[in-house]
Amino acid sequence: MRIELSFTPHQADEAALRDKTVVAIDVLRASTTIVTALYNGAREIIPVTTVESAVNLSAKLAGDIVLLGGERGGRMIQGFSLGNSPAEYTPEKVKGKSIVFSSTNGSQVLVNGRYAREMVVCGFVNMAMGVNFLRERPRDFTLACAGTNGAFSLEDSVCAGMVIYSLTRDDSLELALSDGALAAQTLYKSHGKNVLKLLRSTEHGRHLQEIGFEDDLKLCASVDSIPALPQLDGNVIRLKRDAERKDLSPAAASS
């Protein structure tokens, strides 16, 4: 298993991710928000990169089952129903809904993965789910970090490093680490002991605290708190088990 890693979406564009197995990581906060939303019953997440596409797409889809979610500069976008705080995505608000989602960093990675062979969404909150997904299919994969405003993000890199470190503990896997994967593992070993402390110290974590989202950091730092794995299914993101159930259903089999 060769492990590639990109620290920013520039490196992991559509061409680079095409036909790959991809783990998308945006700890603060898209990964955490998407995991939370789907675990709380959202039907699907539709990632788009621009506010304009989000508005256009939601206008085309049936009204009351669609919500607009996301942020710019960390804050909710005008006219949207939801921001990018995992705490907002409660069962009451999201159950059964399709959510058109546009965040500054995470959406770009998710959209870049549209021609991937398969892509899942991972954060600290569903670490074991992400690691098990990779362990079950011992093939080359790419960890695609969202970064922050096009630049390197320490929290995404440490999260990617935790995935790698967890896999290295499994002696049955033969791993070949790219320079980036080796670096992420080193960063996890140095900065990953206290995830909440890490999130409070990084550039994006400090920004979120400054604009009042201190509590989100606690949610995003809770390792393995949510047993859910979002997976790209066509152009939308669903819980992995739902995506698979659909594939196995008679309707899907006969189509």
Least CB distance to its own copies at residue 201 (A): 9
Question: Of 48, 134, 154, 219, which one interacts with its own copies (CB under 8 A)?
Answer: 154
Q: Which amino acid is located at 225 in the chain?
A: S
Label each residue of the chain as H, E or C: CEEEEECCCCCCCHHHHCCCEEEEECCCCHHHHHHHHHHCCCCEEEECCCHHHHHHHHHHCCHHHEEEEEEECCEECCCCCECCCHHHCCHHHHCCCEEEEECCCHHHHHHHHHHCCEEEEECHHHHHHHHHHHHHCCCCEEEEECCECCECCHHHHHHHHHHHHHHHCCCCCCCEECHHHHHHHHHHHHHCCCHHHHHHHCHHHHHHHHCCCHHHHHHHHCCCCCCCCEEEECCEEEEHHHHHHHHHCHHHHHC
CB of 38 to its own copies, least distance (A): 28
Of 138, 128, 97, 161, residue with least CA distance to 229: 128
Which residues from 9-28 bind its own copies, rule CB under 8 A? 10-11
Closer by beta carbon to its own copies, 66 or else 198: 198
* Site string (188-217) toward its own copies, x via CB under 8 A: -xxx----------xxx-------------
Binding-site string for its own copies from residue 97 to residue 136, where x marks contact by CB under 8 A and - marks none: ----------------------------------------
Using CB under 8 A as the binding rule, whether residue 148 contacts its own copies is answered as: yes
Q: Does 186 bind its own copies (CB under 8 A)?
A: yes
Q: Which of 5, 129, 162, 219 binds its own copies (CB under 8 A)?
A: 5
Question: Which one among 36, 40, 153, 225 touches its own copies, defined by CB under 8 A?
Answer: 153
Q: Does 180 bind its own copies (CB under 8 A)?
A: yes
Among 65, 151, 211, 252, binds its own copies (CB under 8 A): 151
Q: Tell me, what amino acid is at 188?
A: Y
Pick between residue 7 and residue 80 the one whose CB is nearest to its own copies.
Answer: 7
Query: Under the criterion CB under 8 A, does residue 157 sit at the interface with its own copies?
Result: yes
Binding site for its own copies (CB under 8 A): 4-8, 10-11, 148, 150-154, 157, 178-180, 182-183, 186-187, 189-191, 202-204
